[in-house]
Structure 1
Amino acid sequence: MNWPLAKTERAPKSQELALTTIVKIRATDQLMSAVYALRRQVSVIEQGVPEDLEVDENDKAATHLAALSDGHVIGTLRIVRHERTAQIGRMAVSAHSRKKGIGRELMEFAAAAASRDGAQEIILAAQFTAREFYKQLGYIEEGAVFDEAGISHVMMRKRLRP
């Protein structure tokens, strides 16, 4: 998996918000400061996740997606590979961009990228309140509800290929 430091690919256009692009970046990319700022705003400030849990060792190895509109990061998630499984996490969409299809576009882009890179499935720890969103994208709940950073989560999985 040799991903360039920054690779721009067009995402499907959202009918509700003119999404400029989604870019794949690594932890060393200049855009990461804006990605981390958005994640901090959503996770730490809005949801109360302890700041020391928001950034972890997986960020260094992950591929990060950044949704850009007018040059500003309005959404993000990260993909961590574990052999034939891609794990999606740290999804965040700015408050003014929510309910406009950005999360869906990020997830669809991530699934396509993971599939192209040979992943057979995607797993994620969904916030319990967001599980219906992921179900609409074809993810299936697995196991019991658990606490992560003070927020109820459930594991979800989506097969990409046999």
Structure 2
Amino acid sequence: MTTIVEIQGTDPLMSAVYALRREVFVIEQGIPEELEVDENDNVAGHLAALSDGHVIGTLRIVRHERTAKIGRMAVSAHSRKKGIGKELMEFAAAAASRDGAQEIILAAQFTAREFYRRLGYIEEGAVFDDAGIPHVMMRKKLRS
């Protein structure tokens, strides 16, 4: 069974969150390590998907007035295709809405855009490069 918890940058679980992000982004995808953690980690709310006490998925939410920006969404290789990403995104949307956000934006890796489309996100603008990987901005309006 998977449990999703909200944590802040000072939570003891953050070391496991960072380890998972490093595994997915730095090791699997080849993103330079110095780009993976940034100043937004200190101000973001973080979600951790837990299974038997282990972090198997994560994302972060940075709030800008009435907009929530989701980023650094990662699921461990052995936990993919099991609905963890969808659970994280739905939890994030509910949390953002609860906290007063009217919309969510995200920079989707181009290969993941269909995943986000199925969750109601709409592509905006041209494809752009982020850390050597094609991305596209996506947006979803939240219900009031």
TM-score class normalised by the smaller sequence = over 0.9
| 3-state SS in 2 of match to 1:78 | strand
Match of 1:130 in 2: 112
Measured on the aligned residues, the alpha-carbon RMSD in Å equals 0.6
Q: Give the superposition deviation at 1:161.
A: 3.1
Q: Distance in 2 between matches of 1:75 and 1:133?
A: 15
Q: Distance in 2 between matches of 1:35 and 1:63?
A: 12
Q: Which amino acid aligns with 2:121?
A: Y
| 3-state SS in 1 of match to 2:101 | coil
Q: Give the superposition deviation at 1:131.
A: 0.1
Q: Which amino acid aligns with 1:160?
A: L
What are the residue-to-residue correspondences of 1:1-162 with 2, within 5 Å?
A: 18-19=1-2, 21-161=3-143
Offset from partner CA, 1:25-83 (integer Å, 9 cap, x none): 00000000000000000000000000000000000000000000000000000000000
Work out the number of aligned pairs and report it: 144
Q: What TM-score do you get using the length of structure 1 for normalisation?
A: 0.88
Q: Distance in 2 between matches of 1:139 and 1:107?
A: 11
Offset from partner CA, 1:81-117 (integer Å, 9 cap, x none): 0000000000000000000000000000000000000
Q: Distance in 2 between matches of 1:91 and 1:133?
A: 12
Instruction: Please list every run of 5 or more consecutive structure 2 residues that lacks an aligned counterpart in the other structure.
Output: none
Q: What TM-score do you get using the length of structure 2 for normalisation?
A: 0.99
Q: Distance in 1 between matches of 2:74 and 2:37?
A: 13
Instruction: Please list every run of 5 or more consecutive structure 1 residues that lacks an aligned counterpart in the other structure.
Output: 1-17
Q: Distance in 2 between matches of 1:75 and 1:161?
A: 25
Q: Distance in 2 between matches of 1:112 and 1:24?
A: 12
Percent identical across equivalent pairs? 85
